[in-house]
Amino acid sequence: MHDLHSERMSGRETRAASGLALVFAFRMLGMFMVLPVLATYGQDLAGATPALIGLAIGAYGLTQALLQIPFGVISDRIGRLPVIYVGLLIFAAGAALAANADSIWGVIAGRVLQGAGAISAAVMALLSDLTREQHRTKAMAMIGMSIGVSFAVAMVVGPLLTRAFGLAGLFWTTAGMALLGIVIIALMVPRAAHPLQHRESGVARQALMPTLRHPDLLRLDFGILALHAILMASFVALPLALVEKAGLPKEEHWWVYLTALLVGFFGMVPFIIYGEKKRQMKRVLTGAVAVLLACELFFWQFGDSLRALVFGAIVFFTAFNLLEASLPSLISKVAPAGGKGTAMGVYSTSQFLGAAVGGILGGWLFEYGGVATVFVGCAVACAIWLAIAVTMREPPYVTSLRLPLCAAALADARLAERLLAVPGVADAVVVAEEAAIYIKVDTEQLDRTSLERLVTPAPERAEA
């Protein structure tokens, strides 16, 4: 039975996954490159105030949060490619609008339009259409890694590009990247035969209410909202603190972010391994939130020298990277069988909402109380998150599988019940219209033979 036995990804699947990961990376690069520079370079724009700069930093999150799920649903109806092409064109138009702006309001309008090119859900759905079951997690991990890498690259390249070409040059580069994304989709990504209705990668209407009522999923949704709010607000304050308190010219900021991200990336790896291997993800999560809280308090009290700010940034990014990597894996562990796509849709929406809230609040706090007030506000957000995270249950250490069902297995009204009796099966739901069953299994305890016997009839087993 192929679905439980891993083979190598085919050339077509590798092309699809790497092409879509590149499109995601270019788009995210465009979103993130303004983070380290808008607070400092944005002050030269007509009408700029700290509150409006904060709004410009977070504005894309508002339209992204509003449109992401609807775009995903539209892609189920009219096909993935038209939605992705239109989304990338909207994103490029937003970047061009911001590049031509000479006032802060023009940049805000451009950022709002950029966010309206909300293609994340459609790209993920296309990835599911183009990859087989047993390789889907690997393909999604490639996209996850591309987002992480693009964030790190953006923190370094953003200040260097802006130093060379100004804010307008930065936005033109972003527009160019979106157009390059269209070329990659056209030339590199294979065509899907037809859209799959697939509950692990898209939002299913039937799973929406259970997702919104699930206490631990809601805790994780609040977590990603808080994390991105803290990130955006910190980027209203940190570049300004580097200039005003540490006396580091804005053209030199890139090396601070490069150091912090490199050390932070390698610093988080042992904790991820420990959390997964020892099944201590809750401890890792709450520990990282506590470190983030300590970081913001450290910035507030001691962030008045370059050495202190660089040290704080290194610790901040270690905790940030750890949380950014572990929250999606917790979502897929906690989501009920057949509900992962919906849970990820709500989670992504929360993430973009957090970016909007953080940018707006960070700018507002800075305007009314300076850098120190922003760090205090971030510390309060961390404390609230910590109080919520502590009440979470230890997640189940399970893997999601989607297995196609033959007619005989589909006709068995008690199939899900029988599967739940198999050692290692934690959850099971039959979706008749997909002729498939979604199950969550603990691979350490799973009795594969019993599982295969139930979902595959004897003749097929003999052939396999």
Kind and range of the H or E run holding 354: helix 340-390
**Does 176 share its domain with 282?**
no
The number of domains in the chain is 3
**Does 92 share its domain with 157?**
yes
What is the average per-residue pLDDT within 106-126? Answer: 91
**Longest Cα pair distance anywhere in the chain, in angstroms?**
75
Residue 201 in any domain: the answer is no
Cβ neighbours of residue 320 closer than 8 Å, sequence gap 6 or more:
227, 231, 264, 292
Give, to the nearest 10 degrees, the angle between helix 133-187 and helix 254-277.
160
pLDDT tens for 18-45 read 999 999 899 989 888 999 999 999 999 9
pLDDT tens for 263-283 read 988 888 899 888 888 888 899
**Does 141 share its domain with 236?**
no
Residue 29 in any domain: the answer is yes
pLDDT tens for 307-329 read 999 999 999 999 998 998 888 88
pLDDT tens for 43-70 read 999 999 999 999 999 999 999 999 988 9
Residue 165 in any domain: the answer is yes
Indicate which CATH number applies to the domain containing 136. Answer: 1.20.1250.20
Domain end among 136, 165, 195 = 195
- DSSP label of 459: H
End-to-end alpha carbon distance in the chain: 6
**Does 422 share its domain with 312?**
no
Residue 200 in any domain: the answer is no
User: Does pLDDT of 6 surpass 60?
Assistant: no
Which of 347, 341, 364, 125 has its CA nearest to residue 233? 364
- Supply the range of the domain harboring residue 47: 1-195
Domain end among 371, 397, 423 = 397
Phi (first) and psi of residue 216, to 5 degrees: -75, -35
- DSSP label of 434: G
Share of the chain above pLDDT 90, in %: 52
Amino acid at 149: V
Domain end among 140, 166, 195 = 195
Residue 35 in any domain: the answer is yes
Indicate which CATH number applies to the domain containing 407. Answer: 3.30.70.100
Cβ neighbours of residue 14 closer than 8 Å, sequence gap 6 or more:
none
**Does 312 share its domain with 388?**
yes
pLDDT tens for 176-211 read 999 999 999 999 998 877 666 666 666 777 777 888
| Burial group, residue 11, by CB count within 10 angstroms (0-12, 13-18, 19+) | exposed
**Does 271 share its domain with 410?**
no
**Does 168 share its domain with 20?**
yes
**Does 252 share its domain with 184?**
no
CA 388 from centroid of its chain's CA atoms: 21
**Does 42 share its domain with 185?**
yes
Least confident of 152-156, 220-224, 289-293: 152-156
Tell me the pTM. 0.88
**Distance, CA of 388 to CA of 261 (rounded, Å):** 27
**Distance, CA of 129 to CA of 12 (rounded, Å):** 12
**Distance, CA of 261 to CA of 155 (rounded, Å):** 8
Cβ neighbours of residue 289 closer than 8 Å, sequence gap 6 or more:
223, 319, 323, 382, 385, 386, 389
Residue 143 in any domain: the answer is yes
Instruction: Please say whether the beta carbons of 42 and 170 come within 8 A.
Output: no
